[in-house]
Amino acid sequence: MRNRLLKKIGTALAVSSFLMGASMATARADAFINILTGGTSGVYYPLGVALSKIYGENIPGARTQVQATKASVENLNLLQKERGEIAFALGDSVQFAWEGNAEAGFPKKLDKLRGIAAIYPNYIQIVASKESGITSLDGLKGKALSVGAAKSGTELNARAILGASGLSYDDLGKTEYLPFSESVELIKNRQIDATLQSAGLGVASIRDLGASLPINIVAVPADIAAKLGQPYIPATIPAGTYPGQESDVATVAVTNMLVTHEDVPEETVYLMTKLLYENLPELVVAHKAALGIKPEAALDGMVLPLHPGALRYYREIGLVE
């Protein structure tokens, strides 16, 4: 079944490419596409820059902009206010936004949100300086940990992981709410012991840290994923992902989403979706996390109604009826 679906998608993609010129000719000449990403040292930002180039070069008359943000929670709230056309966000944040979870940063349901695609998984990556002695989640007790920007998708992940481990911020010696690169700088300066970062594998800030001093990648056991349930799944950080990492490390992952809002024109979203999948090699050059983007997985875990433009594309390639 899966092979037949992949063959069908491949054939439809070829036909879709043939029809591209006529479709683009009908796109709004004045289309403005603001791409909401995350911190510049994460994965969202370089992928957003790559999408900006792809859209700017292939959607006639389109003007594109990449906005660095605090990522998932801020991005979704900005979309609700129609201050962006496409945004990266973690799947659990998207679910909280659609439900209107105040504790997660969404005082009311963000009812304008619409889905484009499930893309690659975010891996929970807890990294400590080797000299801190932290080798397990329990070892975080009494230590200084950066959990990402306050109420960001990463920070929501941190609360979930610690909670499933029987820990809370009160058990830490110090809690910092900082973006990836700033967290790493504090570890280098021995001002904190560890950082939790939710991102694609090979995130630049952790590579930088591992190249600067010896580190430990702290495992998140499979039983934590079982306690958390969907959208969290067991995952592995392969050996060699970061300097000095000699063996695989267990962790959990959560799927990233590309999201838009209901008032973005159908043709614009159709072209944004089509161009995403027809230019995957350029996205992989921007960041290897894009290797996880596959059209057959576009609807996995999607909790939002699809935007009509995205739905049109998936019908075109045979992914939905």
Is the domain of 102 the same as that of 10? yes
Q: Is residue 290 part of a domain?
A: yes
Are 99 and 47 in a shared domain? yes
281 in any annotated domain: yes
Answer yes or no: do 231 and 292 share one domain: no
- Helix-then-strand count for the chain, H and E: 12, 10
Above 90 in pLDDT, residue 3? Answer: no
Distance CA 290, CA 120 (A): 6
Query: 279 with 226, same domain?
Result: no
Do 163 and 186 fall into the same domain? yes
Domain interval for residue 103: 2-120+256-316
Confirm whether 128 is domain-assigned: yes
Residue 185 lies in a domain: yes
pLDDT, position 9: 58
Could you say which of 223, 254, 285 is where a domain stops?
Answer: 254
Please check whether residue 21 lies inside any domain of the structure.
yes
| Residues paired with residue 237 on neighbouring β-strands, in sequence order | 249
Residue 238 CA to its chain's centroid (Å)? 19
What confidence score (pLDDT) does residue 4 get?
55
Q: Which residues pair with 124 in a beta bridge?
A: 198
Same-domain status, 53 and 107:
yes
SS3 at position 203: coil
Q: Is the pLDDT of residue 18 over 70?
A: no
pLDDT of residue 151: 81
CATH number, domain containing residue 147: 3.40.190.10
Within-domain flag for 321: no
User: Are 10 and 94 part of one and the same domain?
Assistant: yes
Residue 115 has pLDDT above 70, yes or no: yes
Q: Is residue 76 located within the same domain as residue 98?
A: yes
pLDDT bracket for residue 7 (50, 70, 90): low
Confidence class for position 41, pLDDT limits 50, 70, 90 = confident
Specify the pLDDT at position 12: 53
Residue at 241: amino acid letter: T
Residue 6 pLDDT: 53
CB 92 within 8 A of CB 160: yes
| pLDDT of 286 above 50 | yes
Grouping H, G, I as helix, E, B as strand and the rest as coil, residue 11 is helix
pLDDT above 50: residue 126: yes
Above 50 in pLDDT, residue 250?
yes
pLDDT above 50 (res 27) = no
User: What percentage of the chain carries pLDDT values higher than 70?
Assistant: 91
pLDDT reading at 243 higher than 70: yes
Lowest mean pLDDT among 8-17, 248-257, 305-314: 8-17
Last residue of a domain, one of 219, 254, 289: 254
- Residue 73 within any structural domain of the chain: yes
* Boundary (domain end) residue, out of 254, 284, 305: 254
Q: What average pLDDT does the segment 30-35 reach?
A: 90
Q: Examine the domain organization and report whether 138 and 249 are in the same domain.
A: yes
Assigned domain for 217 exists: yes
Say yes or no: 113 and 261 in one domain: yes
**279 shares a domain with 262:** yes
Q: How many structural domains compose the chain? A: 2
User: What crossing angle do the helices spanning 266-278 and 308-316 adopt, rounded to 10°?
Assistant: 50
62 and 129 together in one domain: no
Residues 6+ apart with CB under 8 A from 21: none
